[in-house]
Amino acid sequence: GSEMCIRDRLGRVDAAELAGRRPSELSGGQAQRVAIARALAADPRLLLLDEPMAALDITVVPAMRQVLRTVLRGRSAVIVTHDVLDALLLADHVVVMEAGRVVEQGPTKDVLARPRSTFGAGIAGLNLARGTTDGGGVRTAGGLLVAGIHDDETVPDGVAAVAVFSPGAVGVHRERPGGSPRNVFAATVRELEPRGSQVRIRTDEVAADVTAPVVAELDLAPGTEVFLAVKASEVAIYRA
């Protein structure tokens, strides 16, 4: 009975195949999944998660975020994070702290709509493609179809949803890229905005962050026709 319960908990965090492994044989992402399963084993009324993605390789973060979305549904949890995507996709209510003081709080959708802090502005800086579900992606009013990872495979087409991804995950090309990216969009550069060591490339629907040498190499300027590519694994989709 207890062994079945343990395997069930591991299964809920996509870690059932790890049951026979030693701790030293686990990767960071695998260890994190097991830690979540262990925390859930006591069926706690409140789960405390401190930077749950911090030690993970960037390639496994989207999948771990989806695991947390699934296991936290219907549970109370307090999550400490510096990642705006964690807050946006895992939290119903956000409390923003800067220099030890609460500067903003409220329902996540309200903080998103009216950012009044550095953190809120960070959320506003993400690519948010609003539209309706269409074959596992989100189709925007402008006709853009953005494929991504959805936490609920049973969502029918036509449901209001948002596809969220970082400008840093968007590649910029002068020729249509081959290979694996599910999302490739033809676009026109509207403006270039310096942001520290990077430059934000703004188009009508999607923004991309690239380095200054890339801007020079691709000879980017307002009016330049480009192709923007982002892997579906970098795109989180949730009901609006």
Domains: count for the chain:
2
Instruction: Residue 189: give the domain boundaries.
Output: 128-239
Average pLDDT, the chain: 83
Question: Beta-strand (E) ranges in the chain?
Answer: 46-50, 76-80, 93-98, 101-107, 127-134, 137-140, 145-147, 149-150, 160-165, 171-173, 183-188, 191-195, 198-202, 207-211, 225-230, 236-239
Residue 19 covered by a domain: yes
Averaged pLDDT, 215-221: 94
- Pick from 91, 86, 65, 66: nearest CA to 76: 91
Residue 83 covered by a domain: yes
Pairing of strands 149-150, 236-239: parallel
Burial category of 206 from C-beta neighbours within 10 Å (exposed 0-12, middle 13-18, buried 19 and up): buried
- Pick from 88, 119, 122: nearest CA to 103: 119
**Which of 37, 67, 91 is the C-terminal boundary of a domain?**
91
- Both 148 and 193 in a single domain? yes
For the record, the structure tokens of 240 come out as 């609006």
pTM for the model stands at 0.58
27-55 pLDDT tens trace: 777 777 778 778 877 788 899 999 888 77
**Which of 46, 74, 91 is the C-terminal boundary of a domain?**
91
87-108 pLDDT tens trace: 878 899 999 888 888 888 898 8
The CATH number of residue 60's host domain is: 3.40.50.300
- Both 212 and 132 in a single domain? yes
Residue 172 covered by a domain: yes
- Both 151 and 218 in a single domain? yes
Residue 140 covered by a domain: yes
Q: Is the pLDDT of residue 199 over 60?
A: yes
- Pick from 2, 64, 50, 75: nearest CA to 19: 2
- Both 132 and 87 in a single domain? no
Averaged pLDDT, 205-225: 94
57-91 pLDDT tens trace: 767 777 778 888 888 888 899 999 887 778 878 89
- Both 200 and 135 in a single domain? yes
Averaged pLDDT, 200-220: 93
104-161 pLDDT tens trace: 889 887 776 665 666 666 666 788 888 999 988 999 988 889 999 876 667 788 988 8
